Structure 1
Amino acid sequence: MEFASVRLITDDLDRMVTFYEQVTGVPASRPAPVFAEFVTPLATLAIGHTQTLALFGEDVAQAASNRTAILELRVQDVDAEVARLRPHVGSWVQEPTDMPWGNRSALLRDPDGNLVNLFSPVTEDARQRFAARPTSIPSDQDANPSGR
């Protein structure tokens, strides 16, 4: 089994696509007018309009009603991302904070109210936990090959 994507359902696809293009810096692909995907080397975020739900059956999902999941985006520098996104994000839940498990984290809500966590491992233990995981984020060594 291979984890393929997470899909959000929305009543306003264009607004959500614009928001996630701003947050991720990744342009959406639109294989159909009611469906969009943000494909990265590590994960895919799919967004479907509520019109797509008819393909699955009655009342299988409801737009803008999630209160249990958090989409997590690992970033190089949480504080820099918060500064970049502040003009585009209407609802910040948590300003950048160092978490007890070693990540620096900022929490926001997308236009439908879904939680989005921007985080960076900042302690040595946290960096070690993520060291073996695939990433498209340059390491400190990649950014500064001399190690300085």
Structure 2
Amino acid sequence: MKLDAISIITADMPAAITFYSALGLELADGGPDAPHTEFSSGSLRILLDTEAVVLGIDPEWTRPTGGNKMSLAFDCSTAEAVDATFAKLTGRGDGGSDPVAGVVHEPWDAFWGQRYAVVSDPDGNTVDLFATLNS
């Protein structure tokens, strides 16, 4: 048995696709008007399902409230890439693009030896951006 996919429920499929595409994930199936969309990331898939899909499976489902629903972490390889990805997602980069992510924590050098930043996707899920700092 192996972990194959992580499923994320979204209230706004087009915004979620824009966010995860900006992180460099490759759209494999679906799209802005689809109720189910898949991204590939190596051997792991990221699945996006609309709330309507989930309600079709579980009519008693309700959107979680309070606290973090789930979190993903992306290895950006270098400290500079953490900063650049954060700037791109939050609209703070060169060219002043529109933000596709919320700011949870600005980039910082964490005591555990990584450059770290945290953003949120359109549904409020946190996404960590990190890279090991060179000693």
Instruction: State the TM bucket, normalised to the shorter chain.
Output: 0.7 to 0.9
| Whole-Å separation in 1 of the counterparts to 2:56 and 2:110 | 41
User: Is the contact between residue 107 and residue 116 of structure 1 (CA under 8 Å) also seen in structure 2?
Assistant: yes
- AA at the equivalent of 2:128: N
- For 1:73, the equivalent position in structure 2 comes to 74
Q: Which has the larger radius of gyration?
A: 1
TM-score by length of 2: 0.77
Alignment correspondent of 1:26: 26
66 and 34 in structure 1: CA distance in 2 versus 1, 3 angstrom threshold: farther
Quote how far apart the aligned CAs of 1:5 are: 1.4
Counterpart secondary structure, 2:85: helix
Match of 1:118 among 94, 106, 129: 129
Length-normalised TM-score, structure 1: 0.71
Q: CA deviation at 1:12?
A: 1.4
Name the Cα RMSD after superposition: 2.5
* Contact residue 12 and residue 49 of structure 1 kept, 8 A: yes
Aligned identity (percent) is 27
Mapped to 2, the partners of 1:51 and 1:70 lie a distance apart of 22
Q: Which has the higher strand share?
A: 2
Confirm or deny: 8 A CA contact 1:98 1:104 kept in the other structure. Answer: yes
Residues matched between the structures, number: 124
Q: Secondary structure at the match of 1:27?
A: strand
Matched, 1:15 2:19: no
Q: Which residue of 1 aligns with 2:42?
A: 41
For structure 2, list consecutive stretches of 5 or more residues without a partner in the other structure.
Answer: 92-98
